[in-house]
Amino acid sequence: MSSSPPTPAPVDPAPDAVDVITAQWQCVRPDLETAAMATFGRIYRLAKAVGDRTERAYAAYGISRGEFDVLATLRRSGEPYALSPKQLTATLMLTTGGMTGRLDKLEKAGLLTRSPDPTDRRALRVTLTPEGLELIDRAVGAGLIAQQTVLDTFTQAEVETLNDLLRRLLTAAS
């Protein structure tokens, strides 16, 4: 079992762009409570920054975030790594047109196949190829490394607390 390097002691962070924005609002509208703006502004900026890092990790494997999502959904479904286009569309919250474009590109790259569904002649099955399985297993690892690098700022207990707090926020927003 490998041990992770010690986490540096917390440091008071320097003011960031969100602090500048909320300070400007305080100058022109001191009556506003801007804590929510600060929180969600940081969440948005963090999601964008980490999303960009993760996208670059996937690009090293020749796939976009959207293509990763299709391959990852098939991989997570378990053997035989096959779903209907309708199941994929519902899981990824895409239009059928958006899904068709992704499937076309991934099939052309040899990462998945589309074939008749053996239980319903009117339907199709989308299945990962061995090459697709190998690629998604490598890409998911690279994406997790990109994300973990950012989380290494925190201790494990802090990460667990952060996840609990974010889960509560997500539940409240849903």
Reported as a single tens digit per residue, the pLDDT across 83-98 is: 998 889 888 877 778 8
Full-prediction pTM beyond 0.85?
A: no
* Cα angle for residues 91, 95, 101 (degrees, 5° grid): 100
Cα torsion angle, 21, 25, 27, 28, sign = positive
Q: Domains in the chain, please, with CATH?
A: 63-174 (1.10.10.10)
Quote the pLDDT of residue 12.
Answer: 72
